[in-house]
């Protein structure tokens, strides 16, 4: 787990960081619709599952943007060289879920294979966290039953937990397009609207070019 330290005193976001991490602790959320026509075609043609494919695309996009890889560590602000997804997996017998993680690798097929092995390994484990998750993580959850237009995750303590959270909903066809609702939750101390916009552009580009993986 390698990272770079940020010298807050020399950082361009010094004032914003200090305000949003001390006197006005807050995050913000927004929901967008991601066009996934080519993703749907890809998983059907290649025989992949939709959820791990989207986890990979989200992870690839997250790792492209430093604002989504920040954390307080030992009293200092750091940027991880890479982060790994923690994702929810439903347990039908209890209608609860487990939070698992898969180490990020740029090799899509290797990532999906690792995901499948991990899900199978903890298939009968009903614990919230059946395995130790890494510090350098971010969060993904799924609501495949709901096509939502807005979703807000209320995190009680916005002190120094900077990992973003994503929630994917039920996709649907709108005209000629298939769209996926995606809710994005970030900490305002390290991330502004412009950074979220850039992330969304990256994710949409990866969805559009999914066949090049």
Q: Which of 16, 84, 188, 195 is catalytic?
A: 188
SS3 58: helix
- Which of 56, 92, 91, 70 lies closest to 16 in space, CA to CA? 70
CB 56 within 8 A of CB 112: yes
- Which of 55, 33, 9, 14 lies closest to 189 in space, CA to CA? 14
The tokens for 49 are 């599952």
Which residues are 91's β-sheet partners? 96
Is residue 84 flagged as an active site residue?
no
CA distance 213 to 155: 34
CA distance 94 to 92: 5
SS3 41: helix
b/e map of 161-170 (b: 16 or more CB within 10 Å)? ebbbbbbbbe
Helices (H), 47-81: 50-62
CA distance 93 to 106: 34
CA distance 109 to 52: 10
Which residues are identified as catalytic? 188
């Amino acid at each position: 787990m390698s990272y770079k330290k940020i010298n807050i005193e020399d950082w361009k976001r010094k004032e914003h960081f200090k305000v949003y991490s001390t006197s006005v602790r807050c995050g913000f959320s927004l929901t967008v619709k991601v066009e996934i026509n080519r993703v749907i075609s890809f998983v059907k043609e290649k025989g992949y599952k939709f959820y791990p494919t989207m986890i990979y695309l989200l992870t690839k996009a997250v790792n492209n943007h430093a604002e989504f890889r920040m954390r307080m560590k030992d009293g200092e602000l750091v940027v991880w060289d890479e982060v790994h997804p923690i994702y929810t997996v439903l347990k039908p017998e209890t209608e609860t879920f487990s939070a698992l993680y898969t180490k990020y690798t740029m090799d899509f097929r290797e990532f999906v294979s690792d995901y499948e092995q991990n899900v199978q390994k903890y298939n009968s484990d009903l614990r919230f966290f059946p395995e130790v998750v890494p510090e350098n993580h971010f969060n993904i959850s799924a609501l495949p039953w709901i096509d939502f237009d807005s979703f807000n995750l209320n995190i009680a303590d916005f002190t120094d937990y900077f990992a973003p959270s994503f929630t994917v909903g039920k996709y649907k066809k709108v005209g000629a397009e298939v769209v996926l609702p995606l809710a994005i939750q970030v900490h305002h101390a390290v991330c502004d609207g412009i950074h979220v916009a850039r992330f969304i552009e990256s994710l949409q580009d990866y969805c559009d070019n999914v066949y090049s993986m």
